[in-house]
Every structure is written in structure tokens, then in C-alpha cells.
Structure 1
Amino acid sequence: MGKFDQLTDEFLSALEFLTKRSADGGGIAALCGACVRVLPVQRAAILIHEREAGLQPWWATDPIATRVEAVQATAGQGPAVDAVAAGVPVLVADLAAIGARWPGFAGELNRVDAAGSMVAVPLRLGVVRFGVLDLYREQPGRPEPSVISAGLHIADLVIAQLVAGSTRSDHAATQWWDQPLTSRTIHQAAGMVIAQLGIDASDAYARLRAHAFAHGLSLAEVAQLVVGDRIRFDG
């Protein structure tokens, strides 16, 4: 058995185990958990590419990854954004020393006390961009080529599971694609900004991100304020 065949078996076994243990059928949470079980990483996250809204975090394995993904969604820039645009993995050797590559992302990241390294692996099927699988290691440093190749293989397995989940018609399929509450709130807030200003969707999301960045808030926090009618954009 080749190493990728063995990795496939290990991933599918871990996914089945986590799905059976989950009260809600597993879904994307189980996918992230399986990644951590079979790869030499300590945390993982999946972001889904949504039209107009851009990348939205759908699940992360722990609070640190959750905070980093929230920063990427708010800044609209970062390794995951570049990975989905270019279709190739994007490496970050040290989250505490990003430099000038993503100034907005780096500035916000200083507030969440993130450390270690990460690699953003695109989730693509042909020309279809599903999103990104972000893999984190607690220690800084460039991941070995073997880790990158293993991550790419696992990303293909993740895509296969996402496609299988999206084509199912039973109730369990909703566990794969049901939007997180934060994502739904962001979309609702964007709709309210569109109604208030008469602008298109992409500009509405940009307004939300700009407000979040200017006030030191996350995109999800600004969305909650808009939906609660505590912030308006029409003066």
C-alpha cells in the first residue's frame, strides 16, 4: 500500500469515527477533526468561498484557529484569500512575524495572540473554487514538503466529501452545508446595508469590513450590530 493510500484509509477511518461520535452527524466539524488526527498539525479550519461575500469561516477546531479565521474574514486578506485566488498552497512560517505581505491581516492578528505556522491549501475541483483548508502547527517554521503533499492529498479527500454531501438529498446532508450562525448574520447584515444605501452586494460586504477594521471589531461583531439596528450606514 502506498503512503497516500494509507493516508486515505486513515483519514476516512478518522472521519467515520468522529461522525459516529457527533450528535449532529459530523459534517465539516468532523472533516476538520480528521485532518488533525492524520496530519502533523495541531489545528485546522475550513473556509468556504461564497459569491460576493468572499471567504467565510465555516469551522475551526479550536479558539486560536477560530480567531485567526475571523481576522482573515474581517481584513479580506491573508494566506487563505491568496490560496483560493491562486489555486496553490500559501505558507506562513511565523504567524507572529508576517511582515508587510498582508498589512491588514497582520495588524489585526496582533490582537488575537496567534503563534506558530500555517499553510492554506485551496479546495478546488477543476475551475470550481470551494474554499480553503487551513492547517496550523504550534511551532513556527516552514513545513516540510512531505507535509505540504499530504495536505494537498487530504484537501482532495475533503473536496470529495463536500461534493458527496452537497449532492445528497437526506437530512444528514444539511450537516455539511448548513451555514454557521455567524455567516448567516453577516449575509443578513449585508442585505440591510444594500437596502440602506442602494449599493450592490460586493460593496455592502466591503462597507462592513471597512467598518470592522476601523473600529477594531470582527466582521461578525459588526454584522450583529447592524442586524440589531445599533449601526446604520445611511446616516
Structure 2
Amino acid sequence: MSARGGGNGVVDGGRHRRLLRQVTERAQRRGFPGWAGLVCDVAVTELAVDAAAITLRTSARAQELAAASGQCARRLEEIQYTVGVGPGVEAFDMGSPVLMADLAEAHQRWPGFEDAAVADGVSAVFAFPLLGGAVQVGVLDLYRRRPGELSADQLADAAVLADLATTALLTDAAPHATAGRTWDDLPGHYDDVNVATGVLAAELQISVENAFLRLRAHAFSTGQAVLDVAHAVLSHQFDVDAFQD
């Protein structure tokens, strides 16, 4: 991964070099699991948060979990996808950071997400949109168990890490970055959701957007992940009538 910025604006050169060095040193020590995963590791350590995730987003239906620091981050990213709201969704939609220092004060800003995050012991969430030039490509989400704001230094570091996360996504997307890995090995692969949505749309003779909303609603009402419901649809474990109004 080169030292060039990913498009999130002007960043502190010294800070950028320091954090990039942290990422590359981890790559040398641990082998190469992918740049996005290394950026998540550095975010957890340098920002004193408990979990981090980098997610590719292009629309409400198009999402790929590029990397996560652990199960908590993976689960909360999946919940955001399932309920359609959350700090990452909002940061992507607004094109600006979302900083929630205390989820107890969110007052149902993100119905469905807040309760799940609190149940996982998360008290504060911070989301940063990832910009590739003028195009938003995803989100860096940070989760912390104790409430409180990020310090000025931590915010500056987070801005740099968002820049590095953008570069990581573009670098990991290069053919050499996934050599030896199959598509199914990639974390959080949601292509099956798109296929299942198309199947429902065709079977029910409704729009793709409507089909996706029904898929998501079924997942939420039954306490399942959207991806699991999609797999069930594709393996014919569901009668499509279950998705009728």
C-alpha cells in the first residue's frame, strides 16, 4: 500500500507517515491478511477503541464487509445492513463523520441498531465516510465500550486512518491482493443477497427495491442476518409466500 492519500482531504503528513508505518510493520510481522484488516488493527490500538470495521458501500443494497477486528464489529455491521440504519449508514448517506459519544443519548436515532449495540456492551460509536476522489466508497466504523468523545488527536488520527482505509480498499481490490483466495473466502460477501433479491422480485413480480425491503424485513422480524435469509431463499428453504405482504 502506497503512502498516497485516498481522497479524504488534506491530512497531516507526519501523522500519515506514522500510521502508515504502523500498518506496514504489522504486515511484516503477521504476514499479509489484507491491508483493510491491518488498518482495523491499527485503529483499535491507536484510537483506544474496542472494535473497528471497514465496509464497502455503494447503495442501500450494495455492501461488502472488507475487514473487521473481531466478531463484535462483524455483528454490528451485519445489524446495520439488516435494519438499514446505523452510524455507518448515516455517515455514508451524509458524506460526513458521525460521532456518537454515548449511545444512551441517541434516543432511537437508529432503531434496531442501538439496542443491539448496547447489548454487545458498546457505549460509543464513530463512523467516517471513505472517499475515493469525489466518490464515496465505504465507511470506517469504530466501536468503544466506554462512553466519551474522541480526543482532538484521536479525531485527527481517525481522519488519517479513514484515508488509509480508502487506499486499503483500492489496493486489496487489485488482482494480486487476493491471490490464493476464493470469492467465498472474502468476509461479508453479499452478492448472494443481490441474487436472492432478484429471485424474489421475479417470483413475486415486484420491483427489486421492494423485494430487498421484504428480504430485510423478514430477516429483522425473525432475528436472522440478511445474508442467512438470502442463502435460505437460494437453497429453496423458504416458500416465497413468506415474503408476501
Give the structure-2-normalised TM-score: 0.80
Cα deviation, residue 135, structure 1: 1.3
CA distance in 2, matches of 1:69, 1:38: 21
Summarize the Cα distance change of 1:175–1:134 in structure 2 as closer, same or farther, 3 Å threshold.
Answer: farther
Q: Match of 1:99?
A: 107
- The C-alpha deviation readout for 1:26-71, integer Å capped at 9, x for no partner, is 2422221232233332321011113451444332101111221111
Q: How does 1:59-74 map to 2 (within 5 A)?
A: 59-74=67-82
Percent identical across equivalent pairs? 32
Q: Is the 8 A contact 1:55 1:81 kept in 2?
A: no
- Is residue 2:127 matched to residue 1:117? no
Give the structure-1-normalised TM-score: 0.82
CA distance in 1, matches of 2:117, 2:54: 18
Q: Secondary structure at the match of 2:240?
A: coil
CA distance in 1, matches of 2:144, 2:208: 35
Q: Is the 8 A contact 1:95 1:114 kept in 2?
A: no
- Is residue 2:161 matched to residue 1:154? yes
Q: How does 1:164-183 map to 2 (within 5 A)?
A: 164-166=171-173, 168=174, 170-172=175-177, 179-180=186-187, 182-183=189-190
Cα deviation, residue 101, structure 1: 1.1
Q: Is the 8 A contact 2:126 2:142 kept in 1?
A: yes
- The C-alpha deviation readout for 1:192-230, integer Å capped at 9, x for no partner, is 223322333322221111111112222222223222211
Cα deviation, residue 190, structure 1: 2.0
Q: How does 1:4-15 map to 2 (within 5 A)?
A: 4-15=12-23
Q: Match of 2:6?
A: none
CA distance in 1, matches of 2:109, 2:84: 13
Question: In structure 1, which of residues 77, 80, 86 is the aligned counterpart of residue 88 of structure 2?
Answer: 80
List runs of 5+ in structure 2 lacking aligned partners. 1-10
Q: Match of 2:213?
A: 206
Aligned length: 230
List runs of 5+ in structure 1 lacking aligned partners. none
203-212 or 55-64, which deviates more: 55-64
Which one-letter code corresponds to 2:162 in the other structure?
A
Q: For CA contacts below 8 A with separation 6 or more, give which structure has more relative contact order.
A: 2
Q: Is the 8 A contact 1:52 1:201 kept in 2?
A: no
Q: Is the 8 A contact 2:35 2:171 kept in 1?
A: no
- The C-alpha deviation readout for 1:115-167, integer Å capped at 9, x for no partner, is 2311000111343111100112221122223322221121112212323444x
Q: Secondary structure at the match of 1:103?
A: coil
Q: Match of 2:26?
A: 18
Cα deviation, residue 109, structure 1: 4.0
CA distance in 2, matches of 1:58, 1:89: 19
CA distance in 1, matches of 2:149, 2:128: 14
Q: How does 1:36-75 map to 2 (within 5 A)?
A: 36-51=44-59, 53-75=61-83
